[in-house]
Amino acid sequence: MDKRILDIFYSRDRNVAEITMQAIYREYQDILEPKIVGMLELDKNCFSEERNQYDADLLLTKLRKNKNLFLWVVHDDIFSDDLNFVFGCAIPLKGAILSTFRLRSKDLIEKEAIHEIGHVLGLTHCKNECVMMFSNSLYEAILKPKNLCDSCREKLRKVYGYV
Ligand SMILES: [Zn+2]
Ligand SMILES: [Zn+2]
């Protein structure tokens, strides 16, 4: 099966985009061909003065028409719906946004990038020891493993022929 291209955009820091690209390549190399496309600045219209955060769902609509799957790495804090903040937010089979604002280490950035791309590929949250475990605190994010569990891998294998 042909690999799908994953376009990576960043709002400020190309080095962080490189980190996510390498992590995504390591975990999903049989399915995805990640490449850095370039800088895409945050639209001020997606900023909530009241919350002092960007609206992740609104930002995602900016890339709605992107031909390839995508990941947009941003550095400002983001929220979604009634959640106080999110590390990332994904539209299955389209793309995701990832905020490094609360992710203080390379390890956490890699983990959350792998998590969001799991959603992009159609995975839902997982109850195993798995990178797809739900986490909405830094503590939970630190505790979860960096890789997919066997059951999530198997799901991807069925759909994409992942080995
Ligand atoms: Zn998730
Ligand atoms: Zn899993």
CATH class of 4-124: alpha beta
Nearest ligand to the CA atom of 96: 1
Among the listed residues 74, 53, 52, the one whose alpha carbon sits nearest the alpha carbon of residue 63: 74
Cα 100 to averaged position of ligand 2 atoms, centre (Å)? 23
Q: Where are the domains of the chain?
A: 4-124
Report the catalytic residues.
116
* Tens of pLDDT, residues 100-157: 999 989 999 999 999 999 999 999 999 999 999 998 899 999 999 999 999 999 999 9
Cα 127 vs. chain centroid, distance in angstroms? Answer: 19
Q: What is the pLDDT of residues 13-38, one digit of tens each?
A: 999 999 999 999 999 999 999 999 99
Ligand with minimal distance to 153 CA: 2
Element (H, E) at 6: strand 4-10
Neighbours of ion ligand 2 (CB under 5 A): 126, 128, 130, 132, 149, 152
Burial degree of 154 (CB within 10 A; 0-12, 13-18, 19+): exposed
